[in-house]
Amino acid sequence: MTNVRVQVAGHGRHIDEAATIWAETTAARDGDDEVAPLSLARPVIQAVVDSSPRSLLFVALGADDRIVGFAAVEPVPADESTAEVRYLGVHPGSWGQGVGRRLMSALPDRLPAAGFAQAELAVYVDNRRAVKLYEGLGWLPYGEATPHPRSGRLEQRYRLAL
């Protein structure tokens, strides 16, 4: 998808689109037949956006200006110089078209302007596509993989110096 551009959403904008993509993405990733309704998905994204005045919602827009992906980022409370990518989602219809790469490639250019010196994220170790993307962009694993508190699936933390 060569015509994708990434921008920071204005305050309170595009949360519903991001939440809908998150619900569709996680259902597709996990092989679930049911997609969570917006009433359950929206609070997940809204919580990140509302967690700090420095939180950012990056959106990837396709050629038709439709949102095809997003990244929700917030400062780590214990270290405000570190941004945590809490959620990254690409609409399943856009998988394999470079949207996630575009989003993740935009972060090192834009996060330092928001006062961040490094970024972190967690990813399920069995999410091979995501792991390959992050490692290919220079993210480095740190610490041991640990079970996610709700799903029990192993998660690995990654860092990227900005």
pLDDT per position as a tens digit, 88-130 = 999 999 999 999 999 999 999 999 999 999 999 999 999 999 9
At residue 2, the pLDDT reads 64
The pLDDT tens digits of the residues spanning 36-67 come to 999 999 999 999 999 999 999 999 999 899 99
The predicted-structure confidence for 120-156, as pLDDT tens digits, reads as follows 999 999 999 999 999 999 999 999 999 999 889 999 9
- Is the CB of residue 118 less than 8 Å from the CB of residue 81? yes
Q: Does residue 4 surpass a pLDDT of 90?
A: yes
pLDDT at 130: 93
Looking at residue 3, its pLDDT comes to 86
